[in-house]
Chain A
Amino acid sequence: MKIIVLVKEVPDTYGDRKLNLETGLADREASEAVIDEISERSLELALSFADANAGTEVAVLTLASEGATATIRKALAMGAGSAIHVSDEALRGADLGLTAETLAAAIRRVGFDLVITGNVSTDGSGGMIPAMLAELLDVPHATGLSSVTISDGAVSGSRPVESGVQQVSANLPAVLSITEALPGARFPNFKGIMAAKKRPLEVLSLSDLGITADNPEAARSIMLTVAEKPPRAAGVKIIDEGDAGDRLADFLVENRLA
């Protein structure tokens, strides 16, 4: 089986995250770039399946600027067998549509039985890519899974929704996305670190994939304005004069938090 795991490089959540107010893009200089934790969990799911099922091929795919090599090497050190890195100046600030189109083209190019992604990235937080990919690849999708079983020809799992938990399944080939409920990633070992340098890493541009970034026929989102996050306002302080409970309840109801 061939599993493709989408790996995204994001600004470190523990660092300072900023938008560049001129371009409207995330300021990649503001903090260290790391593999998105949800990507690590996706890779862990693929690797633990591969550990138990000989003959499983795990490839990671990332769409990122040139500097993302360290992130890709880390994924390879963890145990992925190969990597595809799509990098092109024209992808800077790509919207969800162009991103999905590009990723789908790369996935189709290398072939797949299963695509595993996180449900939502830490930085863009679009949450649309898994479903868009499935649409473009013309395969079923099982998104937002909090538990996953991969078998020979199908995947199944649980998807928590507001009113309960759905059990879903799909025949392969398919796209699935996972939530943070899945186990965290393994740490690479020294053998993996040394092997990572020897594992194949293919770098592709948009022209390799036959995609035109500014295709006038494709719908693309256009950012009109960008503004800095407003400073945090002072909170509401409730001083107990015998009615703090009621006032707290009123506050929660008023702010639709109850």
Chain B
Amino acid sequence: MPDFELSEDYQNLSDTVREFADQVVAPVSAKHDEEHSFPYGVVSQMADMGLFGLPFPEEFGGMGGDYFALALALEQLGRVDQSVAITLEAGVSLGAMPVYRFGNEEQKREWLPLLASGKALGGFGLTEPEAGSDAGGTKTRARLETVDGEKMWIIDGNKEFITNSGTDITKLVTVTAVTGTSERPDGSVKKEISTILVPTNTPGFTAEKAYNKVGWNASDTHPLTLKDVRVPEANLLGQQGRGFANFLSILDEGRIAIAALAVGAAQGCVDESLKYAHERFAFGQAIGKYQAISFKIARMQARAHTARLAYYDAAARMLAGKPFKTQAAIAKMVGGEAAMDNARDATQIFGGYGFINEFTVSRHYRDSKILEVGEGTTEVQLMVIARDLGL
């Protein structure tokens, strides 16, 4: 039988990050949320702890851990502050991971130590105004031209909702762009999509004004404009024309990470509600004594628990080199739903206080909605699961 007990290393890591989340992150969460400010101090301490290097080998400045270690860290951070968790998630699995998975030796040497140290952040420029779940609708174009005797990619286009793309420490955005077309046997045109490394100090690259979001207020999200952006031919990441396949595999992994973050959020709602159920008295006793409350919290705990098992399973398959696409989709879907459902129940338990922004549960209520949308909407996960069933 499979065993879901964490090994000592994983447990120690999880406990350490939990302590960090409670002692360092939680006390400033409400402030950054209210001010919509990026938590540079917190991120810098996460960098010192090596969290941005968790799944990378030591030769590239990593911690020599694995993707499950990252997921455990994300769960503990997501419990108290989803903005901080998504900053780590995007920094590692979208910023650095594509370079690690698809970069050549030189690209890895140039970027990984910097990104794994957490002293610099990378972003992944995939989503566009007209390309979300249908990422194949990419309009950004890159053409290879000789400029002053050197072959350069010239990139033009717009990106939307790009995490970590405009902080003071953002150094790199990997963008997807159409680099050519081919004809399918039926005569229709197929876009050839590639991924290209764009250092953010390249002229023509602009992170536009940050969005005014419903939640994840302390996470850095911008639209990007690329206008006549020129980078060397060697900045092509992975094979030309493999960009679509590559980013799909990055998204599959990313779903496990987002699922873990969502489980953290769902658990955070349980923890907060449990504390409140003991403290708050109504009609002469603690509200936890009433089944209306205790059953709600019991159900919340059941959601968090099952969603956790789902991401553990997907991560175990991934690490064992087995197919995990469907399991990652399931984990992402039930995780996002557990977070949203638990946030709704938790705010109900908190009554009027649940409608006050500075309370953790109300922040989870605003933050959790995106967990049903980002990294593949619930509908996209259902498509993946249904396809696996042969439908």
* Chain A residues close to B by CB (< 8 Å): 73-74, 77, 186-191, 193-194, 196-197
Contacts and interface: CB of A to CB of B under 8 A. Distances in A.
A77 B13 CA distance: 10
Nearest to B65: A190
Main secondary structure of the interface of B (DSSP, over half): helix
Given A77-B12, A193-B13, A186 B48 contact: yes
A187 B20 CA distance: 7
B128 to A, nearest CB: 36
A208 B210 CA distance: 65
B130 interface: no
13 contacts: A187-B20, A187-B45, A187-B49, A188-B12, A189-B48, A189-B63, A190-B50, A190-B63, A191-B50, A193-B13, A193-B16, A194-B64, A197-B8
A201 to B, nearest CB: 14
Contact of B54 (A73, A187, A190, A197): A190
A58 to B, nearest CB: 18
A197 B9 CA distance: 9
B9 A194 contact: yes
Interface residues of B, number: 18
B49 A189 contact: yes
B19 interface: yes
B58 interface: yes
A252 to B, nearest CB: 32
By secondary structure, the A interface counts as helix
Q: Which of A190, A191, A194, A196 has the most CB of B within 10 A?
A: A190
B75 to A, nearest CB: 15
A193 B12 contact: yes
B9 A193 contact: yes
Contacts of B63: 189-191
B8 to A, nearest CB: 8
A80 B358 CA distance: 39
Contacts of B49: 186-189
Contacts of A74: 12
B24 to A, nearest CB: 8
B69 interface: yes
A184 B10 CA distance: 24
B107 to A, nearest CB: 24
Interface string B8-32: 1100110010011000000000000
Report, nearest first, the 6 A-B pairs whose CB atoms are least far apart: A189-B50, A190-B63, A193-B12, A190-B65, A189-B49, A187-B49
A191 B45 CA distance: 16
Interface string B44-88: 010011110010001000011100010000000000000000000
Contact of A190 (B8, B45, B69): B69
Nearest to A77: B12
Given A190-B69, A194-B65, 16 more contacts: A77-B12, A77-B16, A187-B20, A188-B12, A189-B50, A189-B51, A189-B63, A190-B50, A190-B64, A190-B65, A191-B50, A193-B12, A194-B9, A194-B64, A196-B12, A197-B9
Given A193-B9, A194-B9, A188 B16 contact: yes
A196 B12 CA distance: 11
A184 to B, nearest CB: 9
A68 to B, nearest CB: 16
Contacts of A197: 8-9
A191 B54 CA distance: 9
Contact of A191 (B8, B20, B58): B58
A194 B62 CA distance: 13
A196 B65 CA distance: 14
B155 to A, nearest CB: 36
Contacts of A193: 9, 12-13, 16
B64 A187 contact: no
Contacts of A194: 9, 64-65
Contacts of A190: 9, 13, 50, 54, 63-65, 69
Nearest to A196: B12
B274 to A, nearest CB: 17
A197 B8 CA distance: 10
A74 B69 CA distance: 18
A148 B49 CA distance: 25
Contacts of A187: 16, 19-20, 45, 48-49
Nearest to A194: B9
Contacts of B69: 190
Contacts of B45: 187
A152 to B, nearest CB: 27
Nearest to A34: B19
Contacts of B19: 187
Contacts of A77: 12, 16
A189 B73 CA distance: 11
A101 B235 CA distance: 65
A187 B17 CA distance: 8
Interface centre among B20, B49, B54 (most CB of A within 10 A): B49
Contacts of A73: 12
A63 B65 CA distance: 33
A189 B53 CA distance: 10
A199 B69 CA distance: 21
Nearest to B73: A190
A77 B9 CA distance: 11
A191 B12 contact: no
A115 B235 CA distance: 53
Task: Identify the interface centre among B8, B45, B69: most chain A CB within 10 Å of its CB.
Answer: B8
B54 to A, nearest CB: 6
B64 A191 contact: yes
Nearest to B48: A186
A174 B50 CA distance: 34
A73 B9 CA distance: 11
Contacts of B50: 189-191
A117 to B, nearest CB: 23
